[in-house]
Chains A and B, each alone.
Chain A
Amino acid sequence: MSHLAIVPLLLPLFTGIFLLLLREQRIYVKRAISGISSIALIAVAAKLLCTVSDGSILVYSLSNWPAPFGIVLMADRLAALLVLTTSLLSLFALVYGMRGTDRQGRQFHILFQLQLFGLNGAFLTADLFNLFVFFEVLLLASYSLLLHGGGRKRIRSGLHFVVINVVGSSLFLFAVGVLYGILGTLNMADMAVKVVHVSADNVGLVKAAALLLFVVFALKAALLPLYLWLPSAYSQTSAPAAALFAIMTKVGAYSILRVYTLVFGNEAGPFANLLDGWLLGMALATIVIGSFGLLGSKRLRQQVAYLVVISAGTLLTGFSLESPAGIAAGLYYLPHTTFAAAALFLLADLIVQRRDQMEDRLEAGLVITRQKFLGATFFILAIIASGLPPLSGFIGKFMLLRAALEHPALPYIMAIILANGLLTVIAMARTGTLFFFEAHAVDTSTNTYIKQGEPEPLRVRELLPILSLLSLCVLMTFWAGPINSYCLDTASQLLDTPSYIHAVLGKVEQ
């Protein structure tokens, strides 16, 4: 049995524990260990992706207990893609954190690694209760990362974030309890087998539990009625944490995709395609509300947070088309939007520092230092985020719309996605104009907005993450062909549930 599937979990976990022992050490030691671990994680994730890209499913039974009895980890194309996205994102968020955020509290690197542990665990587990545990791991780490650095507003939005997620966890447990009580298993492959044979009087109960589970995942993914925690939490936290959190809503989207294709998918008998008609409407409504939020925002970071909401809606639109092409479009859109949102959060932080009291309020202020460079970066990122040609956002949306051509709800999908693109362009153009074009030159008599005597040069630690995330989006444009075919393979692997069930349960079934 190959141990590759468990390495993306153990690496951040052990690094986190090791860093805990080194708490009293100098910051450089912690930075080095954390950085090396993140680079190693990328290598492991890339290896994992190469291993599973031929369509094989890696199954890792912990302690060698056979599948439905023991806990199983599983890596297929989808899990490998998300682990790689997470690891790439985390390295750049971490490098940006090294410019000073990690000095604001001793535990930054520990929490960061534990958050990665939780994220990778959620992507790689094949067990519903284990998914709950990894959700809690990543949430506990994210609560502390969110509040890292402290401050009044951060604590207020943090309190809301924690309370709503604790309630979400309770709902998750209720759903898990009902499903276990009726199906007698929590292994997702085994659940997919058992769910077909549910007796008629229990169908309602299982449906209720399945939809309760959907509520929890929708909360994590920030779908329409449950997105309200996101804008304030994400816009108040520190930049590296916000950048890393760009992947957190995707955990919810991933869980929806996994559970509702595998357990309640095409072949689930009375529960086949349980979410049909719900998911698409909610995803589209999320895009609409997100666009209004984007236009109504008064701060740049709030705008980026709404872009995260919109991206969740967009990729769930892709997932809800139920066709391989739709899922593939969503999967292409997922890494692109994660990188773009993270880069925008980091860039917003650079802008905030240069505007002093103005912070990122959408008002014309004084000319900021390095404005040409920052303005150009903002311009490219805005193109990527709003889906204008020629960069990856355009390809993602184009694939999505092409996949929707056959769908009966095509007019709505087309109208909402395109209108959202237009509104995003307007909002980003307004922000860019206010920050960079309408900024007035320094008036020495009222020089209150920029720090005096500080030219604030851009350092490698600030530039490297933003430019790397940006170039990842550009690379996704150039490699759109191979990535698209990988996403299509992933989608067909997801919809082919019997082979997944066979891979996980294998010998037991025969």
Chain B
Amino acid sequence: MEALISILIGILTAGGVYLCLRSHTFPVVLGLTLLSYAVNLFLFMMGRLVIGKPPIISEQAGSYADPLPQALVLTAIVISFAMTAYIIVLALKARTEMGNDHVDGKEVR
């Protein structure tokens, strides 16, 4: 399970980094989104993988799932969501202002 999640995060990050380095705004936005997915999963996993345990200390359950990373990841999701929305609007604005969607505003031919 740990290995599976690690590989998943790795693939997401690799895809995100690759897309971020592309020369057009749309792939870059997708890349940033993938990166934020990867980072959210990663943060979530930092509480360790625990199955079927309550996120609170209770004597019946014996152990607990760390609730703090869940709170952190909620914050991170909200922030990355807002950032993505903002950057999409900005990319669209750049597209209309500059006439193309190259990140530097000029097509290299």
Most B CB within 10 A of own CB, among A150, A155, A160, A178? A155
B34 to chain A: closest residue by CB: A170
Distance between Cα atoms of A136 and B39 in the complex (Å): 15
Q: B15-71: which have CB < 8 Å to A?
A: 16, 20, 25, 28, 32, 35-36, 38-39, 42-43, 45-48, 68-69
Give A133 to B78 CA distance when docked, in angstroms.
11
Once bound together, how far apart are the Cα atoms of A284 and B80, in whole Å? 34
Contact segment of A161-169, A307-315, A378-386: A161-169
- Given contacts A162-B86, A163-B28, A177 and B42 within 8 Å (CB-CB): yes
Q: Find chain A residues with CB under 8 A from B107 CB.
A: none
Cβ A140 vs Cβ B90 within 8 A: no
Q: Is the CB of A167 within 8 A of B35?
A: yes
In this assembly, does A158 line the interface, its C-beta being within 8 Å of a C-beta of chain B?
yes
Which A residues from 138 to 158 make CB contacts under 8 A with B? 140, 143, 147, 150, 152, 155-156, 158
Q: Could you tell me which B residues sit within 8 Å of A by CB distance?
A: 16, 20, 25, 28, 32, 35-36, 38-39, 42-43, 45-48, 68-69, 72, 75-76, 79-80, 82-83, 86-87, 90-91, 93-94, 97-98, 103-105
Decide if A170 touches B35 in the complex (CB within 8 Å): yes
Which of B28, B38, B82 interacts with A140 by CB under 8 Å?
Answer: B82
Interface centre among A160, A167, A173 (most CB of B within 10 A): A173
Q: Tell yes or no: A400 within 8 A of B by CB.
A: no
CA distance A177 to B35 in the complex (A): 14
Chain B residue nearest in CB terms to A182: B46
Nearest chain-A residue to B32 (Cβ)?
A166
| Interface contact A176-B43, CB-CB below 8 Å | yes
A-B contact pairs, 20 of them (CB 8 A): A136-B79, A143-B86, A150-B97, A152-B97, A155-B97, A155-B98, A163-B32, A166-B87, A167-B35, A169-B83, A170-B35, A170-B39, A174-B39, A174-B42, A176-B43, A176-B72, A177-B42, A177-B45, A180-B68, A180-B72
On chain A, the residues within 8 Å of B28 by CB distance are 163
Taking A166-B32, A170-B35 as given, write out 19 further A-B residue pairs in contact, using a Cβ cutoff of 8 Å, ordered by the A residue number.
Answer: A133-B79, A140-B86, A143-B90, A155-B90, A155-B94, A156-B94, A159-B25, A163-B20, A163-B28, A170-B36, A170-B38, A173-B39, A173-B42, A173-B43, A174-B39, A174-B42, A180-B46, A180-B69, A181-B45
Residues of A within 8 A of B94 (CB): 155-156, 159
Q: Do A162 and B87 have beta carbons less than 8 Å apart?
A: yes
Given contacts A147-B90, A173-B76, contact A178 B46 (CB under 8 A): yes
Contact of A181 among B46, B80, B91, B93 (CB under 8 A): B46
A159 contacts B90, CB within 8 Å? yes
Assess whether A332 is interfacial by the CB under 8 Å rule. no
Chain A residues lying within 8 Å of B90, measured Cβ to Cβ, are 143, 147, 155, 158-159, 162
Task: With CB as the reference atom, state the residue of chain B lying closest to A161.
Answer: B90
Which A297-341 residues have C-beta < 8 A from chain B? none
Alpha-carbon gap, A342 to B82, bound state (A):
30
Is A129 on the interface with B (CB-CB < 8 A)? yes
* Minimum CB–CB distance for B50 against chain A, Å: 13
Interface 1/0s, chain A 177-199, versus B by CB < 8 A? Answer: 11011000000000000000000
> Is there an interface contact between B69 and A167, defined as CB atoms closer than 8 Å?
no
The residue among B25, B38, B46 with the most chain A CB atoms within 10 A of its own CB is B46
Q: How far is the CA of A158 from the CA of B103 in the complex (A)?
A: 11
Please tell me the size bucket of the interface on A.
20 to 34
Complex interface: chain B residues within 8 A of A159 (CB): 25, 90-91, 94, 103
Bound: A11/B98 CA distance, A: 39
Rounded to whole Å, the gap between the CB of B77 and the closest CB of chain A is: 11
CB interface residues, A 206-239, toward B, < 8 Å: none
Instruction: Flag if B87 contacts A177 (CB, 8 Å).
Output: no
Give CA–CA (A159, B76) in the complex, Å: 21
Query: Which one, B32, B39, B105, contacts A177 given CB within 8 A?
Result: B39
Residues of B within 8 A of A166 (CB): 32, 35-36, 83, 87
Tell me which residues across on chain B come within 8 A of A162, comparing CB atoms: 83, 86-87, 90
Complexed CA–CA distance, A169 and B20 (Å):
14
B64 to chain A, nearest CB (A): 13
B98 CB contacts on chain A under 8 angstroms: 152, 155-156
Please measure, in the bound complex, the distance between the C-alpha atom of A166 and the C-alpha atom of B79, giving whole angstroms: 10
Does B72 contact A129, Cβ atoms closer than 8 Å? yes
Contacts of B79 in A (CB 8 A): 133, 136, 169
Residues of A within 8 Å of B91, CB to CB, are: 159
Pick from A129, A140, A163 the residue with the most CB of B within 10 Å: A163
Q: Which residue of the partner chain, among A129, A150, A152, A163, contacts B105 with CB atoms under 8 Å?
A: A152
CB distance from B107 to the nearest CB of A (A): 13
Q: Output the nearest chain A residue to B84 by Cβ-Cβ distance.
A: A166
Considering only CB atoms, which chain A residue lies closest to B69 in the complex?
A180
A167 contacts across to B, CB distance below 8 A: 20, 32, 35
Q: In whole angstroms, how far apart are the Cα atoms of A174 and B36 in the complex?
A: 10
Expressed in whole angstroms, the Cα–Cα distance for A156 and B98 within the complex equals: 8
Of B83, B91, B103, most A-chain CB atoms within 10 Å: B83
Provide the residues of chain B in CB contact with A177, threshold 8 Å: 39, 42-43, 45-46, 69
CB contacts (< 8 Å) of B36 on chain A: these are 166, 170
Q: Which residue of A lies closest to B38 (CB)?
A: A170
User: Least Cβ distance of A219 to chain B in Å?
Assistant: 14
A178 and B9 CA atoms in complex are apart in Å by: 14
Q: Among A129, A147, A177, A180, which residue has the most Cβ atoms of chain B within 10 A?
A: A177
Chain B residue, CB-CB nearest to A69: B68
A93–B105 Cα distance when bound, in Å, is: 30
Residues of B within 8 A of A173 (CB): 39, 42-43, 76
